[in-house]
Amino acid sequence: MKKKTKASFRVARNEAFIVFGRIAFMGLSNHDWRMLSYALYIL
């Protein structure tokens, strides 16, 4: 394992947060709380 694993994991985590934030924002803008709750149940 190289020493860059921590940095790459941090970048991947930030990208995941950005994607989840976009999905959550679209759900909030559409007032689609049911789909958002389903996504949380799946996770």
pLDDT average, residue stretch 4-25: 84
Query: Are 24 and 36 contacting, i.e. CB atoms less than 8 angstroms apart?
Result: yes
Query: pLDDT for 13-23, tens place per residue?
Result: 889 888 888 87
pLDDT of residue 14: 87
**Dist CA 20 CA 26 (whole Å):** 10
The answer on pLDDT for 42 being more than 80 is no
> What is the pTM assigned to this prediction?
0.43
